[in-house]
Structure formats: structure tokens, C-alpha cells
Amino acid sequence: MRAWFAGDFDGCLATCDRVRTNDVEMLANVALLRARALLRLGRPNEAVDVVSGVFAAPAALDASLTAQMLLGQGYVRLGEHERGLAILERAQRAGTGAHPTIRSELALNVALGYFGLRRLDDADAALDRVAPSADIVHARALEYRGWVAVARADFAEATAHFTGALRRLDDCRRTDRFLEASAIQGLAMLAAERLDRPAALFAESRAERLDWRAAGLAEPHRLVALSFSMLREADGRTHDALRWTRVADEAALTEVRALLVACRRAAIFRAAGERHAHADAVVAARRRFDRLGTAPILGEERELPLALAEELAYAGDVLGARAYVKRFDEQPPASRMRVREDPRERAHRSFVEAVIADAAGEDRAAHAWYRRAFGIYRRIGYERRAVLAALRLGELTGNPHLLEYAETTLRKHARG
């Protein structure tokens, strides 16, 4: 329990593995603790197996409410949202007399189920039932509100919630590195895209304090590092931008994730005017990508063909870029736990189409695609990418207002 309360979920699992007792009730409690740790480490399959064993033990009935909650959460995290939510809502109805913290934790997990189904208003209503006195459960609720706001493309509100979650965590009796990492990830991502210097400074100060070595933190660490590389590039600090890509590369646990880092590195070379370094990086990334074969790319990494298509277009390979856009369009839909009909994805694809048309000398098509991308990015507050679209659109059209927008936005970022 000391390891659990310290947020050391790996250590918690290791200690649970060493427990030897014939006390059935204690075994059930240890199993529930194991399930909690497994869920925090992103291993819901194992957690569901462990909790199912608790239900099979008659002496574990005293812990039935917690067991139902963990089982429901496990199914939600496996993508079986309706099944998990039904279990959680049943437990919530049965738990009206439970401890207030348990009731808050149940509400938190019900919100997660609704979020997976994209019932965002219901998710918000469930989070309203999390008591401010529920310590770290309340901090998690603030983090969840951040992701709900991201799903609504309300990035200013999301920034406020991620910041609030981190500040609330400082006041908690317990800690949770996974909560902290997730909130830092969300905050850093939005700070980079919104050119929000105060949020970026806060995120970076938190990232420097966090021990990222725990199992399960590599992916948020990679995403945080990529966000910081974008911020350094926007500042014109090429060396620091590249340094952050090295951090991201070290945290990349798969070849697909490493290739996304390679695309980011190529973009930095391009922005710095290192034409030959950019071309070399793109060729190397394309060869690595082609060795992956034709298997679909799932989840958060599905954007890889689009990212590579953009860099290929900048390098002058129009046919190759168009082939990779086609590959992107053939990918399976994003997970339901991500944003459906995400305006950022539409904007990114539009921007890549613009770059390809631009490289092909198709000025009219490039103009239309840049304008579409600029409109979406500006509307949702993704100022970094809106500036990139505005600059090229201004060059193509001679519209001084677009160049003024870019100059004003960058000046605001510089002042911070």
C-alpha cells in the first residue's frame, strides 16, 4: 500500500507478487490492489482477469463494489465501453451508502465510460459527482475534464483543466505519476500548438521534476518531448529543438513512434533551411517506413503516413507524397477513445494536400487547401499551424492581412 500511495505502481505489483497468505480476504484485497496497479500501468486485460478471480472467491464479497468498479473500468479501457459502463452504473446504484471517496471514484469511472462513447455532456455530469474532498480522485477528475474539453476542441478550457489538475495534485495526500504525466502531456501539446508560453513554461517545469523512468510513462514522455521540440523550433532554437527529438527518440518503444520522431526531426531541418539534411532525413524515414509493410497503423500512430507525406512534398516528391496520403486514407478509423470527427485531423490533411499541390505547381488547388487549413486552425486556436498556413497563403495571394496575422501572432508568442 505504501508503494501504491507513493504512485509507484511497478513497485506495488512487485510487492503484491511476494504476498504469501492463506487469508482469503487478504488475498482478495491484494488482488484488487493488483488490478488497480495494472489499470494505471495500461494493462486492462490482466486487470480484468485478476478481478474476475476476486468474484470467484466467496470471502471477497465485502469488496464487491470495488471489484465491480475495477472490472467496469477494465472493460472501458479495453474499448468495450457499453459493457464496462453497464457494470459501473450498476455498481454506482448499489453504492449509494458507500464511502464518499468510493462514490467519487465510481463517478470518475462512469465519466470515462461516457467519454469513450463520446457522450460528453454525460461525462461532464458524472464528473460533477466527484467530491472536491476526494483527494487524488478529484485531481483525476480535473484531468478528465481536460480531455473532455479537448474532445470538444475547446483548447483554452482544456489548458485550464490540465493546469488545475497539476496544481490540485500538489495538494493531494497521495501522488500519481501517471496522472501527472498525462496532464503534462495534454498541457505541453496544447501549449505548443496554441503558442501559449506561460502554459509551456509551467509544463516544462513539471516535466523536469517528474521521474519518467516508470514503465508505462515512455509514450507520454515521447509526446511531451515532441511538443517541447515544436516550441523550441517556434523560438528559432534549432539545437534545443533537435535535443528534444533525441529525448523523444529514446522514449519511442516502437518503430512507428520512432518514425514520427524522425518526421519531426526532418521538419526542424527544413525550418532551419538545412535543405540537404532535410532531404537525407526524409529518404531515411521513407526507407524505414517502407520496411514496415502494408499492415494497418492503428491508434495514435495512424497519422504517420500523413506526416511523412508532408515532408516528402517539401522535398519535391509529389508522387510519393500522394501515395502516402492514400495510405493514410486507407487506415482504420481512430479509436473511439480519441476525438471523433477531429477538426485537427481535417486541418492537417488539408494542409498536407496544400503542400503537395504547392510542390506540384498547382497554385489554385494549393490556395484552396491552405485556406481550408488556415480557417480550421485559426478557429480552434492552433496558432502555430495557422501561422504556417497564413504565411504561405499570404505569399500565394499577396494578401497583407494574412502576413499581418502571422506577424501579430508570433510577436504575441515572443512576448509570452
DSSP string, 104-150: HHHHHHHHHHHHHTT-HHHHHHHHTTS-TTSTHHHHHHHHHHHHHHH
Grid coordinates of 175: 501522488
- 356 belongs to a structural domain: yes
> CA-based Rg of the chain, rounded to a whole angstrom?
23
Q: What does pTM read for this prediction? A: 0.91
* Together in a domain, 349 and 372: yes
Grid coordinates of 150: 479537448
Angle ∠(116,38,129) on CA atoms, nearest 5: 45
Query: CA separation (Å) from 174 to 6, 7, 111, 140, 170?
Result: 6, 7, 22, 12, 9
* Together in a domain, 326 and 370: no
Place of cell 458524472: 126
Give the pLDDT of residue 335. Answer: 59
* Together in a domain, 159 and 261: no
Give the pLDDT of residue 60. Answer: 41
* Together in a domain, 276 and 352: no
- 94 belongs to a structural domain: yes
Contact 331, 301 (CB under 8 A): no
Place of cell 494549393: 366
Query: DSSP state, 331?
Result: S
* Together in a domain, 232 and 348: no
Residues listed for the chain: 416
Q: Strand, helix or coil at 218?
A: helix
Residue 302 neighbours by CB under 8 Å, 6+ apart = 296, 328, 331, 332, 334
* Together in a domain, 111 and 50: yes
Rounded Cα gap, residues 6 and 401, in angstroms: 53
State the total domains in the chain: 4
Can you say whether residue 316 is alpha, beta or left, with left for phi > 0 and alpha for psi between -120 and 50 degrees?
left
Residue 279 neighbours by CB under 8 Å, 6+ apart = 315
* Together in a domain, 5 and 108: yes
Per-residue pLDDT 10s for the chain (416 aa) are 777 777 688 888 888 888 887 776 777 788 888 999 899 888 999 999 988 876 655 444 346 788 899 999 999 999 999 999 999 999 998 888 788 888 999 999 999 999 999 999 999 999 999 999 999 999 999 999 999 999 999 999 999 999 999 999 999 988 888 999 999 999 999 999 999 999 999 999 999 999 998 778 999 999 999 999 999 999 999 999 999 999 999 999 999 999 999 999 999 999 999 999 999 999 999 999 999 988 888 887 999 999 999 999 999 999 999 999 999 999 887 655 554 568 999 999 999 999 999 999 999 999 999 999 999 999 999 999 999 999 999 999 999 999 999 999 988 877 76
* Together in a domain, 262 and 323: yes
* Together in a domain, 332 and 350: no
Contact 206, 166 (CB under 8 A): yes
Place of cell 497564413: 390
Rounded Cα gap, residues 325 and 329, in angstroms: 6
Alpha helix ranges (H) inside 9-43? 9-17, 24-40
Virtual torsion, Cα 395, 400, 401, 402, nearest 10 deg: 10
Which residue, among 142, 149, 109, has the nearest Cα to 126 in the 3D structure? 109
- 355 belongs to a structural domain: yes
* Together in a domain, 123 and 194: no
Grid coordinates of 362: 498547382
Last residue of a domain, one of 289, 308, 338: 338
The DSSP line for 281-322 is HHHHHHHHHHTT-SPPP-GGGGGHHHHHHHHHHHTT-HHHHH
- 247 belongs to a structural domain: no
Domain residue limits at 275? 254-338
* Together in a domain, 305 and 326: yes
* Together in a domain, 124 and 34: yes
Q: Is the dihedral of CA 117, 119, 120, 122 positive or negative?
A: negative
- 244 belongs to a structural domain: no
- 249 belongs to a structural domain: no
Rounded Cα gap, residues 135 and 123, in angstroms: 20
